[in-house]
Amino acid sequence: MLGSQSTRWEAIDAARGIAMFFVCFAHFGSGYFASIGEPERQTLTDHIGMVASPTFMLISGMMLGMLASARSPARFAPVRDKLVDRGLFLLLVAHPVILIAHLSFDMGRLAWLRWGFITDAIGIALIVGPAIVTRLSMRARLVLAAAMYAASWWLIVAWLPESLPLRFLKDTFVGPMLRSTRLFNFPVLPWLAVYIAGSSLGEMLQRRREADPRSAMRLLLATGSTMLMCAAALHLLLPHSVSDAWSPTGDIFDRVADLASIFQKLPPGPTYLLTFGGIGLMITAGAIWIDARGIAPRALAALALIGKSSLFVFVFQYYLYFVLLRALHLPSIRWWPAYYTVSMTIVYAASRVWMQYDLNRHFTVGYARWRASRALAIRQLSDTLAQLIPASHTPPAPPDTIVAAWAEQPPARARASTSTAAR
């Protein structure tokens, strides 16, 4: 419930589960409508599914901010290691596993090198983010995120490399101008900026949750509604200002004009992020409100289950939609949402089995375990040395004892006269 101060917030997991529904909806359209030749409906599912990426990246950043804010630096260290471990897993293991599901698409030579997924951007964010959140304040992270995002779009417009390696590097980390060397890719720099901004929001959310849990919901509602209003203003004003300042021809005008498009996802335009990110925050606020009122607890628990197993669901749905669904060649029907409903039933059942056996524990490359064993070995070595040093060396007398003994002795002249008298 909202008033619970447990580390795991079921409402946040439920919001992440809702984001996974949008992911599955978009990929269902790609697997089903593309195979039967209905691009208009595929475009519809793609546009509806655009809620997923900003929502998931913001929630991931919020979780980082909440975890760091609720712990001391010493207690956050093992959490940091686990996040880095998960980031390495996403890059080294999840990427090739997801890539295999895309090999059924005939995309020509070196297609395996040109595919990119949001898990790549999240993986880098999980590696870099913990170091940033422990070194920079909440406001400094917001400034950094804004600077990174602005720099990414400036580089998109101003940096036009000609060599293929530099173009590939730019498309991977910043984003393409128009034609990309990547088949599909989430540029690292702008999405990392979204993640870092989410960490600042998560820190504020954790403070609100500790002081007045209901104010956390109001914070998300206010932030989400503000983002939506800014998106509306940007959509109305930007095309006019751009047309006055730029010639309405050429690649640069087309790219700058994309800033006003609500559907400019790759690379993510500001209107797109403000719109769908604002919707995602309001969805999260709604999940918190439902959790607080105790409404539909079973439905919330089911969504939270999908949210907790989100990485498994993300990988699983690629094989469900891009491999199995395309191979089935299902006929086009008027009530096509029934296909999607059946697919989500399969996803939920698979998630239940996955969580029942706690299979998330296998999402590791061993980095966190290695760091923990290394810290334990250093601690044991330190304790052993502390025990051996006093046993092998007699400690010198404390200074106070030496001074006291010296004070009890008679002066040298007195000692000399006493010695003469004795003789």
Does residue 388 come out as left (phi exceeding 0), alpha (psi in the -120 to 50 range) or beta? alpha
Note whether 277 and 301 are same-domain residues: yes
Note whether 48 and 119 are same-domain residues: yes
Note whether 398 and 361 are same-domain residues: no
The number of folded domains in the chain is: 2
Note whether 290 and 394 are same-domain residues: no
pLDDT in tens, the chain (423 residues): 333 444 578 999 999 999 999 999 999 999 999 888 899 999 999 999 999 999 999 999 999 999 999 999 999 999 999 999 999 999 999 999 999 999 877 777 778 889 999 999 999 999 999 999 999 999 999 999 999 999 999 999 889 899 999 999 999 999 987 788 998 899 999 999 999 999 999 999 999 888 777 899 999 999 999 999 999 998 888 754 444 444 344 455 555 666 778 998 989 999 999 999 999 999 999 999 999 899 999 999 999 999 999 999 999 999 999 999 999 989 988 899 999 999 999 999 999 999 999 999 999 999 999 999 998 898 888 888 888 886 555 555 555 544 444 444 555 444 444 444 444
Note whether 103 and 26 are same-domain residues: yes
Beta-bridge partner residues of 184: 115
Note whether 108 and 138 are same-domain residues: yes
Note whether 341 and 395 are same-domain residues: no
Note whether 340 and 396 are same-domain residues: no
By C-alpha distance, which of 58, 82, 94, 24 is closest to 196? 58
Note whether 189 and 334 are same-domain residues: yes
Domain that holds residue 180: 10-368
Does residue 67 lie within any of the structural domains? yes
By C-alpha distance, which of 273, 228, 235, 275 is closest to 257? 235
